[in-house]
Amino acid sequence: MATNQSNIGEKAKRIEIALKFTDGDMDKAKLMASGNMSDVIVVKGKFVVADQDKSGFFLAYFNIIDEYIAAIKTVVVSNSSIFTRIRIFDEWRSHYKNMLAYEKGEDIVNSEKFNNDLLGSFIKTDVFPDVQKQNLDYLSAAIPDMIKESFGSSNVKCQIDLEQTNSMELVLMGIEVMIPAAEEEPHEESHEAAPSEVKSVPDSPFGKKLAEIESKAQFVVEGCCVLSPVKGKLIAEVTPGERIYVVLPA
């Protein structure tokens, strides 16, 4: 009897968490709770920076439905042990536990800069379409360049893999999910924002990076994505320095 109550309580807990990531849709929450709905793709990567005698591992969780980076976990050590010992194709939960263990070791290196650099590169490069399509070939070529830039080294080896999961599983593993703050709908009678009104951003690495990018821009144009056939290049095909034209309808 106690076992049945425990199972019911665990199921209810999973559904309660899942409801937060399915806009309160009970049917979707039940699917997520039972493992039959995935809204996150985990980009797993191990690397070694040979000329600096460092190696590391990262887990980047992309919410492919609402298109935001839910979390990034990185670990770097002052030897090549991570690259030589960790198997990239193991399940992400196993990797997460290994990373927690590495963080307690004496050879741990502060990876905060790498974590922020990786987040910024993902946003700048706009890897969401390729993560959604699970374009492993592109990601395996693009991410090593991000690591090279972060560590200032061209002597980098990297291996990437992808795995599907869902937001509920992240929470159950104790991972803090960075949910973007929802923007409030403007009042119909209000056509202009008050001069003193300041747009708030979530107090998270994603929000801070977005604020940093906007602070360096000459103009910040509010907009939204419209999924419709258009002419032009895919964003992934635009090269640095190339002049492009963007239509901004009134």
Q: Can you say whether the dihedral through the CA atoms of 178, 12, 23, 197 is positive or negative?
A: negative
Write down how long the chain is.
250
d(C-alpha 10, C-alpha 57), whole Å: 31
In this prediction, residue 4 carries a pLDDT of 62
In this prediction, residue 8 carries a pLDDT of 73
Amino acid at 126: D
Ordered per-residue pLDDT tens for the chain, 250 residues = 556 666 777 888 999 999 999 999 999 999 999 999 999 999 999 999 999 999 999 999 999 998 899 999 999 999 999 999 999 999 999 999 999 999 999 999 999 999 999 999 999 999 999 999 999 999 999 999 999 999 999 999 999 999 999 999 999 999 999 887 654 455 454 445 444 444 444 556 666 777 777 777 777 676 655 544 445 666 666 677 666 666 665 5
Number of H helices, E strands in the chain: 9, 5
Which pairs count as long-range contacts for 79-85, CB under 8 Å and 24+ apart, including other chains?
79/53, 79/54, 79/55, 79/107, 80/48, 80/50, 80/53, 80/54, 80/55, 81/55, 81/107, 82/46, 82/48, 82/55, 82/56, 82/57, 83/46, 83/47, 83/48, 83/55, 83/157, 84/48, 84/55
In this prediction, residue 214 carries a pLDDT of 75
In this prediction, residue 62 carries a pLDDT of 96
d(C-alpha 232, C-alpha 244), whole Å: 9
User: CA-based angle 25:28:34, to the nearest 5?
Assistant: 135
d(C-alpha 218, C-alpha 198), whole Å: 17
- Which residue do the tokens 């929450």 mark? 29
Task: Report the SS3 class of residue 164.
Answer: strand
Dihedral class, residue 151 (left if φ above 0, else alpha if ψ from -120 to 50, else beta):
alpha
Whether pTM > 0.85 for this model: the answer is no
d(C-alpha 107, C-alpha 103), whole Å: 9
In this prediction, residue 211 carries a pLDDT of 76
In this prediction, residue 218 carries a pLDDT of 73
